[in-house]
């Protein structure tokens, strides 16, 4: 039954989101990210803060409009709204807390920031259906225009292709490995604009990958997303330092490069 399938999908994605923090912290060497981090200054990047505030306000406004029109819990359930709040908070911690400046000092904090975006925030935001709420936040005429555009073959075809599991996984893998090539990795350390582009690429590809899992779980409620999450974390193991701050694949040399570039 569709209702039972939606419930199973929500339950599985919730399990992924609940399991993700411990898995991400374990893989990112979070033991080196101590309480002293919170003594660092809070970042105040206007673009980051503006995007966070705008996305949160648009979701709340769109949700209010949707529920006023269709009834509370219709279209987006309260649990999904709570998932958005949790995913939004994870993004805020990753991008607008002392974790961000700490990432310039500790490689483990740098990687933890990325895992918070990809493994914690992405599943929660995917479950929350933000596109539905954001669409309802638009004026009615613009909303109808957006609906016509997204139904057009020029948009719908590529979007369906990107949401196929193999395509989403391939894009996510390409983004992860590409941004950890030494040249791009170093460029992101020195150029704030490139670093922002890196974060956008990580988040967008992670959202697509998670959406493909969601589609699989809708078609097959028995599909175990937690196992895929663990496989995804193992797949990125080569880019993440162990408890001693050493990259598992030392041939990459990323941790050494990071220390040289950030500590001089």
Query: pTM of the predicted model, to two decimals?
Result: 0.72
Query: Do 55 and 89 touch, CB atoms closer than 8 A?
Result: no
CA dihedral for 74, 79, 81, 84, sign (positive or negative): negative
Q: Which phi and psi (to 5°) does residue 241 adopt?
A: -75, 155
Contact 20, 119 (CB under 8 A): yes
pLDDT per residue over 95-126, tens digit each?
888 887 777 777 777 888 888 998 899 989 99
- E strand residue ranges, 126-252: none
For the segment 141-176, what is each residue's pLDDT rounded down to a tens digit? 998 888 888 888 888 788 888 888 788 888 888 898
Q: What is the pLDDT of residue 22?
A: 44
pLDDT in tens, 164-215: 878 888 888 889 888 888 888 888 878 888 888 989 999 999 998 888 877 7
Task: Report the alpha-carbon distance of residue 261 to residue 149 in Å, rounded.
Answer: 45
List pLDDT tens digits, range 48-72.
889 999 999 999 999 999 999 999 9
Residue with tokens 């980051």: 48
Residue 257's pLDDT band (boundaries 50, 70, 90)?
very low
- The structural domains of the chain, with segments of one domain joined by +, span 2-32+43-263
Count of residues making up the chain? 264
């Amino acid at each position: 039954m569709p209702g039972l399938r939606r419930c199973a999908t929500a339950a599985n994605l919730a399990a992924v989101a609940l399991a993700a923090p411990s898995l991400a912290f374990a893989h990112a060497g979070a033991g080196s990210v101590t309480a002293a981090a919170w003594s660092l200054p809070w970042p105040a990047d206007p673009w980051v803060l503006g995007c966070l505030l705008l996305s949160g306000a648009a979701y709340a406004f769109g949700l209010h409009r949707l529920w006023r029109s269709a009834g509370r819990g219709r279209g987006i359930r309260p649990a999904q709204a709570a998932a958005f709040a949790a995913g939004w908070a994870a993004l805020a911690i990753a991008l607008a807390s002392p974790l961000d400046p700490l990432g310039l000092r500790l490689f483990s904090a740098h990687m933890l920031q990325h895992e918070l975006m990809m493994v914690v925030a992405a599943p929660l935001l995917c479950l929350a259906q933000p596109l539905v709420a954001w669409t309802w936040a638009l004026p009615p005429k613009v909303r109808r225009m957006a609906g016509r555009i997204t139904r057009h073959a020029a948009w719908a075809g590529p979007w369906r292709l990107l949401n196929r599991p193999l395509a989403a996984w391939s894009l996510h893998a390409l983004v992860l490995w590409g941004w950890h090539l030494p040249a791009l990795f170093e460029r992101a350390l020195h150029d704030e604009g490139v670093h922002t582009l890196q974060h956008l690429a990580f988040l967008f590809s992670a959202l697509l990958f998670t959406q493909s899992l969601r589609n699989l779980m809708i078609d097959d409620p028995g599909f175990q997303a937690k196992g895929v999450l663990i496989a995804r974390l193992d797949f990125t193991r080569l880019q993440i330092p162990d408890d001693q701050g050493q990259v598992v694949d030392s041939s990459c040399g990323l941790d050494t490069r990071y220390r040289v570039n950030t500590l001089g």
